[in-house]
Structure 1
Amino acid sequence: MSSREQYEPGAASGAEVRKEGEKWTLVLVRDLSHPPAKVWKALTDPEHLREWAPFDSDRSLGAVGTAKLSTVGTPTPQVSETQVKRADAPKVLEFNWGGQDLRWELEPRGGGTRLTLWHNIDRNFISMGAAGWHICFDVLERLLASQPIGRIVGPEVMKFGGWQRLNAEYAKQFGVETPGWPSRPRT
């Protein structure tokens, strides 16, 4: 039985960066042992999102159109209007969040799903983003296995020792500087 206290993220893996000029895209791949329809529901249903995602939605993301996404764990919730541009259940979901494009692809693999996320993100935050999504995916995996540990997002995630380690590991893999967050003086 997995619990939040026992949770420790594994090594940084399954992520890469694609660069097109100044535009950087984080690509994360995770193999899940659950069918695409179940994973789709977790990606689109507001009740499921509340268990693992870094944002809440005021409606299902499973249909094209406008939705309001609220950032979780910030002192004041930041609400941004998003456009769900594509919702091909249970294959492709595309929307923007806070000016960044997210594209989720679900590919059947045996009885499970290969989940791929493309997230165009500021180069300065790419290792932090990879570390954050890595932990979100771990929490998602436990939720799908009916062993929820509750979401770990926002400032709370940075208190996790595993997050600091992942941030440094991804920065090294991507060849970027580890963002000094929280800022610490250099010696």
Structure 2
Amino acid sequence: MSDIHGYVPGPAEGALVRKEGENWTLILVRKLRHSPQRVWAALTEPDRLKEWAPFDADGNLGSTGAVVRLTTVGAPKPVVTETVVTRADPPRLLEYSWGGNDLKWELEAVADGTRLTLWAVIDRRFISMGAAGWHICVDVLDRLLGGAPVGRIVAGDALEFEGWQRLNREYAAQFGVEAPSWSPLSGDES
């Protein structure tokens, strides 16, 4: 699949890695053309998350202490994570865990939009895959908020997408790691 609804991701950029043991932190920075309030709603509201995020939420993530079940989309077997929102400071800061890994979203108002910074803890073996996946998710989010939705591109759809494959290789080269491969049919890494 070369593109999805005319969407082709740009080059791997705006990301760096903080290396700490087996789990590394991906730091992805993007400028979005939308207000922090609109971005916040897309990060926290279940109906909006299901249009771009790699998980569905059974509740709103927008308040500290909220308990929400996150269901990974497209996993070979259902993967459900119960998370507690550890920090929600609308529309600036959101922190919670997904699949045992911490996520932190920071939104900063800038001219013509929002600077979005994501910190995502990822097993070092899959850091380039995670960077490619979040790169695409944030692009899809930006297009959704801009009124040009392309639909969620996650799991097997992402893995079969040439843009994801290219980003995986580019991020691996930037981070100095070998790009892992993954068979979307078996769910096994190779």
- TM-score tier by shorter-chain length is over 0.9
Shift of 1:128: 0.1
Corresponding residue for 1:84? 85
TM-score by length of 1: 0.93
| In 2: Cα distance, 1:156 partner to 1:62 partner | 28
Matches within 5 A, 1:84-163: 84-163=85-164
Aligned-residue offset at 1:57: 0.3
Kept in 1, the 8 Å contact 2:180–2:189? The answer is: no
After superposition, give the CA deviation of every residue in 1:123-150 in whole Å (9 maximum; x if it has no partner). 0000000000011011001001011111
The ranges of structure 1 where at least 4 consecutive aligned residues each deviate by more than 6 angstroms after the TM superposition are: none
SS of 2:9 mapped into structure 1? coil
> Residues 73-117 of structure 1: CA distance to partner in whole angstroms, max 9, x if unpaired?
123331110111001000000000010000000001113000000
- Work out the number of aligned pairs and report it: 183
How has the CA–CA distance of structure 1 residues 86 and 181 changed in structure 2, closer, same or farther, with 3 Å as cutoff?
A: same
Q: Which residue of 1 aligns with 2:28?
A: 28
- Structure 1 distance, partners of 2:165, 2:20, is 27
The one-letter code matched in structure 2 to 1:141 is D
SS of equivalent to 2:86: strand
- The 8 Å contact of residues 22 and 123 in structure 2, kept in 1 or not, is answered as no
**In the alignment, which residue of structure 1 is the partner of 2:182?**
181
Name the SS for the 1:114 alignment partner.
strand
Q: Which amino acid aligns with 2:151?
A: G
Separation in 1 of the partners of 2:189 and 2:129? 16
Q: Runs of 5+ in structure 2 lacking a partner?
A: none
Q: Which runs of 5+ in 1 are unaligned?
A: none
Query: What TM-score does the superposition give when structure 2 sets the normalisation length?
Result: 0.92
Identity of aligned residues (%): 61
Amino acid at match of 2:49: L
SS of alignment partner, residue 26 of structure 2:
strand
Which residue of structure 2 lines up, in the alignment, with residue 164 of structure 1? 165
- Tell me, in whole angstroms, the C-alpha distance in 1 between the residues paired with 2:58 and 2:5: 30
* Superposed displacement of residue 157, structure 1: 0.5
